[in-house]
Amino acid sequence: MKSLKLALGAFLAAGTAAVVAGPSLALAQYPGGYGQATGPNPQLIEARRQIDAAQKEVNKIRADMQKLKLRIQAKYETKDEWETAKKELKSAETGYDAARKRARARLVNTAAYKAAKEKQTKADQQVAALQEQGDKADPKALEVAQQSRIDAGLVIRKLETEAMANDTKVAEADDKLKDAKKAWEALQDEVKQAMEQDPEYQAAQQSLDQAQANVTQMRTQLQQQQAQEAAARRAQAESERQSRQSRSGGGGRGRSGGRGY
């Protein structure tokens, strides 16, 4: 963290100097002045290098925090209630998925669902056939076929939603899943509280917050420098354009006057 703060300080100092100095400094950063640049702005290259280093520091702190979290969590994983809650959650998820599959299997055999699927398939075929005709296709026929496909899809979705909502087995499985999730989340809250009370983890969290703030500040400073440089380039280009026009206009009048004598 110390090296990161030093890098940030140097970067901000350089960036502030550039902002205070104005466009002329941004142009002077290129060997030979504006219009004769031999390469990228070295100050911006250094700024990006420092940002990369700062981001690596952020990533390192996050990795360290993950290790700390796993260490704290390991203390809870050995408890019987942890393993029980984990198994019950997995069982509830499996039961819920199975109940939904059974409900859907019953639905696809109903006359209403079969009719909607048949309508959807027919509309798909009509749309595909008309699209193959390209510009020769009847726009109204294509519109009707597309709307028919949409209508069939809405009916299918409605039937599926109602089938799940009205199936008692799905409802029971859903209730079990919700209870299992609550039990599991309660254990996760205990782990979270333990991390909040762990001095080492909290110190790492503070370091992460500072490191992330540093990266954000450095990126903002870089964007300001890039905007300043772009503005300076535009201003210099406009100045040179006006200068050329002035010389061209003045020269033309001189030659015209010479022919008049």
- State residue 41's pLDDT score: 80
231 within 8 A of 23, measured Cβ to Cβ: yes
Is 149 contained in some domain?
yes
Average pLDDT over residues 150-168: 96
- State residue 40's pLDDT score: 73
Looking at the 3D structure of the chain, how many domains does it have?
1
Is 38 contained in some domain?
yes
Is 252 contained in some domain?
no
Three-state helix/strand/coil letters over 53-95: HHHHHHHHHHHHHHHHHHHHHHHHHCCHHHHHHHHHHHHHHHH
Decide: helix, strand or coil at residue 102. helix
Is 212 contained in some domain?
yes
Report residue 150 as tokens.
């949409």
pLDDT (tens digit per residue) in 3-37: 444 444 444 444 444 433 333 334 444 444 444 44
Report residue 43 as tokens.
């100050």
Burial (CB count within 10 angstroms: exposed 0-12, middle 13-18, buried 19+), residue 219: middle
pLDDT (tens digit per residue) in 120-138: 999 999 999 999 999 999 9
> To the nearest whole number, what is the mean pLDDT of the chain?
84
Is 34 contained in some domain?
yes
Comparing C-alpha atoms, which of 11, 16, 80 is closest to residue 218? Answer: 11
For 218, the domain range is 2-235
Is 240 contained in some domain?
no
For residue 258, what is the DSSP state? H
Is 246 contained in some domain?
no
Comparing C-alpha atoms, which of 12, 106, 81, 72 is closest to residue 198? Answer: 72
- State residue 8's pLDDT score: 44
Is 247 contained in some domain?
no
